[in-house]
């Protein structure tokens, strides 16, 4: 029960403080789940994102469900999911009436513009940390650059590149055998 | 009745929008043609608002669209409908994954997917960069901020609040 409470607080905090969702949430996931609570490892976080990319639904929610399940099975999954969604529910519905006028407000607009720039720095730091961890072998380094090329030049979708990388891993294992 | 319909429509979006929050946008535009819940212009506002309020964008949009259509109950129902399919699927995948965690095929494939995800995150950062770094002030801000984030280990929450304050002071 205490554990469930902790799960709830962690994910509520993540839901409350990330703007943009998805990858922008990764620095908070790392701080809260890996560094502070030690619920999951670095590799697990990346794996959840990889799978979350290919399963239906919002990625951040999928990552929350995965982590919750890992800590406390089905009950943990449900609590984590509810907790990450709750700040959105409360904030959007509380502000819905004034939100359209709020985004016209100059000070609010400056603050959000600042946050968008700040989030870029956080994401870039995340890429560096993950690169050191997940791109280790020659095979992984070449995969990284091939995928980067495919994303920037041919504009393949996220799900396509994840599936292609999975095929590459499959073929490599097949060749190694 | 409207609740049942909202639940069903958002359940379908949750089931078919693969690849994250922004993927729900085309599905939401379909809703504007199918029902008179909200029009395309209102939807555009919803997207802008959902991106600038906390939380996953996909969830924010579902809550907003549901609320716009049928009040507080609508907001809750639409969010619940959006999230339910992925919760069920992720729990099933989790069960499978913990069963096959030590299978060499699975570990090899996951090791190949990880570099692809790192590249995807870099792309997300780049897209945001194109959108938000529009002049010298914001470029300098981005550079200084990155050096701070890289060298001083503070909570991301600290940096998000700081960047909001800097945004106001610099009139970004």
CB-nearest to B113 from A50, A69, A123 is A50
Per-residue pLDDT at A99: 66
Per-residue pLDDT at B19: 64
Per-residue pLDDT at A95: 82
B120 touches chain A (CB under 8 A): yes
pLDDT band at residue A103 under the 50/70/90 scheme: low
Per-residue pLDDT at B160: 82
Nearest chain A Cα distance for residue B130, angstroms:
10
- d(Cα A11, Cα A174) in Å, to the nearest integer? 39
- Better pLDDT: A58 or A40: A40
Structure tokens that stand for A151 in this block: 């994303």
Per-residue pLDDT at A148: 93
pLDDT 10s digits, A9-56: 999 999 998 877 777 888 889 999 999 999 999 889 988 988 887 788
Does residue A63 sit in helix, strand or coil? Answer: helix
Q: Please give the residue of chain A at the shortest CA–CA distance from B124.
A: A23
CB contact under 8 A, A119 and B63: no
Mean pLDDT of A63-74: 94
Please write down the long-range contacts of A141-148, taking CB distance under 8 Å and 24 or more positions apart: A141/B115, A143/A168, A143/B112, A143/B115, A143/B116, A144/B115, A144/B116, A144/B118, A144/B119, A147/B115, A147/B116, A147/B119, A147/B120, A148/B119, A148/B122, A148/B123
Per-residue pLDDT at A17: 86
Per-residue pLDDT at B21: 67
Per-residue pLDDT at B79: 96
* Bridge partner list, A97: none
Residue A134's nearest CA partner among A74, A62, A45 is A45
CB-nearest to B86 from A18, A57, A130 is A57
Per-residue pLDDT at B7: 96
Q: Point out the residues of chain B with pLDDT beneath 50.
A: none
CB-nearest to B14 from A57, A121, A127 is A57
B74 touches chain A (CB under 8 A): no
Per-residue pLDDT at B118: 87
Q: Is the pLDDT of residue A134 over 70?
A: yes
- Better pLDDT: A120 or A138: A138
Per-residue pLDDT at A25: 84
Helices B104-132 + A42-54 axis angle, to 10:
80
Across all residues in chain A, what is the average pLDDT?
A: 87
CB contact under 8 A, A58 and B56: yes
Q: Is the pLDDT of residue A101 over 90?
A: no
Does residue A56 sit in helix, strand or coil? Answer: strand
B92 touches chain A (CB under 8 A): no
């Amino acid at each position: 029960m205490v554990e469930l409470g902790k799960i709830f607080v962690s994910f509520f905090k993540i839901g409350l403080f990330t703007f943009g969702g998805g990858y922008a949430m990764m620095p908070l996931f790392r701080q809260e789940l890996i560094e502070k609570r030690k619920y999951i490892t670095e590799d697990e976080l990346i794996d959840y994102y990889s799978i979350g990319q290919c399963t239906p639904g919002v990625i951040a929610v999928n990552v929350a469900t995965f982590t919750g399940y890992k800590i406390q099975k089905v009950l943990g999954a449900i609590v984590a999911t509810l907790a990450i969604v709750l700040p959105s529910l409360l904030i959007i519905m509380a502000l819905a009436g004034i939100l359209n006028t709020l985004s016209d407000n100059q000070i609010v607009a400056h603050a959000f513009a600042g946050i968008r720039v700040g989030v870029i720095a956080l994401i870039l730091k995340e890429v560096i940390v993950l690169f050191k961890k997940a791109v280790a072998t020659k095979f992984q380094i070449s995969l990284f650059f091939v995928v980067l090329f495919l994303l920037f030049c041919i504009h393949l979708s996220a799900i396509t590149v994840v599936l292609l990388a999975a095929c590459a891993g499959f073929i490599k294992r097949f060749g190694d055998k | 009745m409207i609740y049942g319909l909202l639940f069903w429509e958002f359940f379908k979006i949750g089931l078919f929008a693969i690849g994250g929050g922004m993927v729900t946008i085309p599905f939401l535009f379909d809703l504007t043609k199918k029902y008179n819940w909200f029009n395309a212009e209102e939807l555009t506002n919803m997207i802008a608002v959902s991106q600038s309020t906390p939380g996953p964008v996909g969830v924010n949009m579902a809550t907003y669209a549901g609320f716009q259509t049928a009040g507080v109950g609508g907001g809750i129902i639409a969010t619940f409908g959006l999230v339910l399919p992925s919760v069920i699927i992720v729990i099933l995948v989790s069960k499978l994954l913990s069963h096959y965690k030590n299978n060499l095929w699975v570990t090899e494939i996951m090791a190949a997917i990880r570099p692809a995800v790192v590249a995807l995150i870099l792309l997300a950062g780049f897209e945001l960069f194109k959108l938000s770094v529009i002049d010298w002030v914001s470029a300098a801000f981005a550079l200084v901020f990155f050096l701070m984030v890289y060298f001083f280990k503070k909570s991301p929450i600290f940096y998000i609040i700081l960047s909001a304050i800097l945004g106001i002071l610099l009139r970004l």
